[in-house]
Amino acid sequence: MCVLRTTRCESVDLAPDARRVIAKPFLPRDEIYPDGSSRMEVVLQRILAMPESDVITSLAAAGDDFADRHRDLDATLERNFEIVAARFDRDDLVSQPMSTDRRRLVGAYFTHEYSIEAAALANPSIVAAPDQSGLGPGEVRFVMSLRGIGEGHISSIEFRSGVVAANGDVRIDAVSPFATTGDRTPHAYDKGFFTTRLDDLSLLNEVEQRVLARLEERFTSADLEEAMTAVHADDAQRAVSGEATKVFHWLMSSNYRTSFPASIELSERVLYPSSPTESHGMEDARFVRFVDDDGTVTYYATYTAFDGHQITPQLLETTDFAAFRISTLSGRTAHNKGMAIFPRRIDGRFVALSRHDNVNNYVMTSHDVRVWRESTRIQEPERPWELMQLGNCGSPLETEAGWLVITHGVGPFRRYHLGALLLDLEDPSRVIGHLKEPLLDPADDERDGYVPNVVYSCGAMIHGDRVMLPYGYSDIGTRMVTVGLSELLDSLTRPGR
């Protein structure tokens, strides 16, 4: 049972909407026919052989059916045509003069819609937004991240925005009818990071070391390709250098940037899996508004990348929720799910919560936000409602009494509960208080869903004397409760109550 009073925000009840779709490239599997051609080649040849009148008619029909479901359908079809064209080495298939309509029709045949939240819209985190202009007294504008789950249980990261009034009332902004993925670009890479990550994976062999030795401390993908080509040409063990090339390509593709035009509404922006590490999902982003020692504000988020077999902790960073940098985390303790970064440095070091052994809660420290090696265990499963497994529910919240950490615990029947810890401000590895009973259980109407009996959050926010706590339930939807901050801190500092 819950021992503290929580108040549900009736205006926050977010449910999945199967109508929210993105237009993804559709690239059939490389099926090879008896004549040596692939399925893609055969389909493309059929389109190229169509009379122009049929091209115009077919494209117009597709536009009638799909134009109102996407912000700029023509641009999407042009982009997907370019993706298809890049797949072919046979110039005769894509180099012949082609009308704009035929190009777009090729794009249409190699496009499919994906419903990004057909199954669930859950596991939220919430932070104060970068822009706080135009608000009334006591109001704060927020950004909420959400885990959208679609076909095949593939997860992406979505956003909503809204305002919390002085009295705690919550207003969610209108949601765009469109969903748009960002434009992906590579970025400059750091040799030290590549070295550390390869060492973590026990993949730093002689070939990788020779490649890295040819690179400057900062390098581009073109620099890396040149270094790999040179080492490959010198290497008699082609199989070994070939594997090294695959590893480097994997690391490059997992570290990238993605951006959206500022004109596109926040709720329209979707971070959809676009690298091998996250091909089956970007799960449970834990956002934090991080203020560095010089006053610079950066929004960090850790999330779980899943490739269908293993999980990899990744880092998002942004200043405006329009341009994002994505990096792979490394280090001995950068493993498993549920990492959450503190909102400021402590003694000049980054600090984070983690569950790198998949059971207990830890505090980690590092001089580099992307490399984590040191940790201290701060909590083991102890209460009946958390004996199976522990974890955090987002980044700690700073209060005068200490760092407030919302936690989750798993009990009988794998029922999830939310709890709370209080950590010392100067030494967050020291636990001051721990709720003896859950802070939040699944309500009766929240127990049934894709994953039953679950309440789960990826981040809360303090507003006045209230903790604004959004949470997902049973991998279906998202709601929010408020908790009195003073009452919660009193319970944590005076456990006898």
Residues 434 and 287 in one domain: yes
Rounded Cα distance, 338 and 369, in Å: 15
The pair of structure tokens assigned to 380 is 């083991």
pLDDT at 236: 47
Residue 161 lies in a domain: yes
Residues 207 and 72 in one domain: no
How would you class 116 by CB atoms within 10 Å of its CB: exposed for 0-12, middle for 13-18, buried for 19 or more? buried
Residues 38 and 154 in one domain: no
Residue 1 lies in a domain: no
Residue 349 lies in a domain: yes
Residue 33 lies in a domain: yes
Residues 354 and 440 in one domain: yes
* CATH number of the domain enclosing 174: 2.115.10.20
Q: Phi first, then psi: what are they for 156, rounded to 5°?
A: -130, 170
DSSP 173: P
Residue 377 lies in a domain: yes
Rounded Cα distance, 204 and 224, in Å: 15
Residue 279 lies in a domain: yes
Residue 477's pLDDT band (cuts 50, 70, 90): very high
Residues 372 and 464 in one domain: yes
Residues 268 and 357 in one domain: yes
pLDDT at 273: 93
Residues above pLDDT 70, as percent of the chain? 94
Residue 41's CB is within 10 A of a number of other CB atoms, namely 18
Residues 475 and 389 in one domain: yes
425-459 pLDDT, tens per residue? Answer: 999 999 999 999 999 999 999 999 889 999 999 99
Residues 351 and 403 in one domain: yes
Residues 134 and 47 in one domain: no
Q: Is the distance from CB of 419 to CB of 4 less than 8 angstroms?
A: no
- Three-state SS for 44? helix
Q: End of a domain among 237, 253, 269?
A: 253
**Where is average pLDDT lowest: 18-27, 33-42, 475-484?**
33-42
What's this model's pTM, rounded to 2 decimal places? 0.91
Residue 310's CB is within 10 A of a number of other CB atoms, namely 8
146-196 pLDDT, tens per residue? Answer: 999 998 899 999 999 999 999 999 999 999 999 999 988 877 788 887 888
Residues 344 and 433 in one domain: yes
Rounded Cα distance, 311 and 317, in Å: 19
What rounded mean pLDDT belongs to the chain?
Answer: 90
Does the pLDDT at position 71 exceed 90? yes
Residue 162 lies in a domain: yes
How would you class 356 by CB atoms within 10 Å of its CB: exposed for 0-12, middle for 13-18, buried for 19 or more? buried
Residues 84 and 104 in one domain: yes
Residue 390 lies in a domain: yes
Rounded Cα distance, 185 and 193, in Å: 19
Residues 263 and 247 in one domain: no
Q: Is the dihedral of CA 249, 254, 255, 256 positive or negative?
A: positive
Rounded Cα distance, 312 and 305, in Å: 5
**DSSP H or E run through 466:** strand 466-473
Q: How many domains does the chain have?
A: 3
pLDDT at 461: 98
pLDDT at 109: 96
Nearest to 71 by CA among 245, 265, 248: 265
Q: End of a domain among 76, 91, 115?
A: 115
With vertex at residue 257, the alpha carbon angle to CA 18 and CA 229, rounded to the nearest 5 degrees, is 120
Which residues span the domain enclosing 26?
Answer: 21-115
Q: End of a domain among 115, 137, 156?
A: 115
Query: Quick one: angle between helices 206-213 and 191-200, nearest 10?
Result: 170
